[in-house]
Amino acid sequence: MANNAPIGIYDSGLGGLTVWREVRRLLPHEALVYLGDGKNCPYGSRPKEEIRALADEAVGTLVAEGCKLVVVACNTATAAAIDFLRAKYAPLPIVGMEPAVKPACLATRSGVVGVLATERSLDGDLFRRTAARYGRGIEVLTVPGRGFVELVEQDREQTPEAEACVRAAVGGMLDRGVDQIVLGCTHYPFLLPVLKRVLAGRDVTVVDPSPAVARRVAQLLDEYGLRTADKGPGRCRFLTFADEAYRLRLEKKAMESLV
């Protein structure tokens, strides 16, 4: 059974485009609707109840757009609201952002793993459960990526300021012997070129969960019989709670990310 309805992808802003990009690459025939809030970004230090209300509004919007599956491509919103969203919108399949602590802990050789994330994500039950389960005997260092989201939202990923922010965030981790760094916010992969420069010459693996999320989407499409029958490129649309200028920025950054 085919289903030509779109897949919805939601984030606080531009960050979830790193997930959108991987879904687009893996499932090029699927129609996609991306909702970047924009108006209320960043979410990282907002109260949990407020984040849940924002996530509810966003997923409700994507449901109204007829989406057959929704990806909450925001670690902060996942941490604050994923159980609530799955209960409210059942039986709609909803994919969240799992903290990629498991693969990092399984791969570490030094026994020290670093996690860069927002304050709210690091404070979430999901992260704590995952870290407790897979981090036995491993030192898991957590650092908020202060200023990271704002840099991406302002298209300043390649500035000296961005490099200074990244160096400040990972310096302590490197001093402690970290050999795996987990990107725990979907905005952060946009800073990968800077992070790689900072890590040059060091044997450190950066773990981006976005490709795994795209594979999970494909798995659920098959499980629920939701793959499209279309053979051409799927249509992509971009929505926001901000203004038209922000929506156009989402569209532009998405297309640039595919190059």
Catalytic residues: 74, 185
Distance CA 183, CA 163 (A): 16
Residue pair 19/185 in contact (Cβ under 8 Å)? The answer is no
Query: At residue 178, what are phi and psi to the nearest 5 degrees?
Result: -60, 140
Distance CA 180, CA 175 (A): 13
- Interhelix angle 48-64/75-88, rounded to 10 degrees, is 60
24-52 burial by CB neighbour count: b if 16+ within 10 A, else e? Answer: beebeebbbbbbbbbebbbbbebeeeebb
Beta carbons within 8 Å of 140's beta carbon, 6+ residues apart: 101, 105, 113, 114, 115, 131
- In the three-class reduction of DSSP (H, G, I as helix; E, B as strand; rest coil), residue 241 is classed as coil
Beta carbons within 8 Å of 117's beta carbon, 6+ residues apart: 75, 99, 127, 142, 144, 145, 182, 184, 185
